[in-house]
Amino acid sequence: MLARESSANSTIRIGKLAIGVAGGNIAAWPDTPSDKLPEALEVASQKGRHSAELERLSKERTRIKSLTLTVAAGNKSGQINVASDVIEFTNARIKAYGVDGKTESWQVGDFDRVNRTKTTARKPS
């Protein structure tokens, strides 16, 4: 997997698991047209409490009802705001889980649907 830097504070949520994202193809998902999206979300993260569950999900090929990727959006206007892109994958599988030292790499694939939402919360002037 090609590990590229992702936006600061990108997080994946699977049920109660919250996983900080360290790299992958995260940047391709918020603004890419639907017909040109990659076949899988590639993720690099730091090994942690969630790792055993990711490995189990990958080995057992378990379908995940809902997996949510939240990516902090860039602030191009210079205003103080909190914006993010929320991307939900439904009925997905964790695939190709592997560990190299303290870094794990894995994919989210075989999903039925992707729903993308942009959120913005502006701080009052």
Q: In this model, does residue 123 exceed pLDDT 80?
A: no
Q: Which two tokens stand for residue 19?
A: 């996983």
Q: What is the pLDDT of residues 19-54, one digit of tens each?
A: 999 999 998 998 889 899 999 999 999 999 999 999
Q: Work out whether strand 113-122 and strand 63-72 pair parallel, antiparallel, or are unpaired.
A: unpaired
What domain count does the chain have?
1
Rounded CA-CA distance 74/107 in Å is 24
Residue with tokens 């090929």: 61
Q: Please report whether residue 59 resides in a domain.
A: yes
Which pLDDT score, from 0 to 100, does residue 65 have? 97
Please give the residue range of the domain that contains residue 109: 11-122
The pTM of the full predicted model, rounded to 2 decimals, is 0.83
% residues pLDDT > 70 (the chain): 82
Q: Work out whether strand 17-24 and strand 11-14 pair parallel, antiparallel, or are unpaired.
A: antiparallel
Q: What is the pLDDT of residues 50-74, one digit of tens each?
A: 999 999 999 999 999 999 999 987 6
Average pLDDT, the chain: 87
Q: Which two tokens stand for residue 95?
A: 């695939």
Which pLDDT score, from 0 to 100, does residue 72 have? 84
Q: Where are the beta strands (DSSP E) in the chain?
A: 11-14, 17-24, 41-46, 63-72, 81-100, 103-109, 113-122
Rounded CA-CA distance 28/102 in Å is 25
Which pLDDT score, from 0 to 100, does residue 120 have? 79
CA torsion sign for 55, 49, 6, 93 is positive
Q: What is the pLDDT of residues 90-122, one digit of tens each?
A: 999 999 999 999 999 999 999 999 999 988 766
Q: Please report whether residue 1 resides in a domain.
A: no
Alpha carbons within 13 A on the beta-carbon side of 48: 10
Q: Please report whether residue 36 resides in a domain.
A: yes
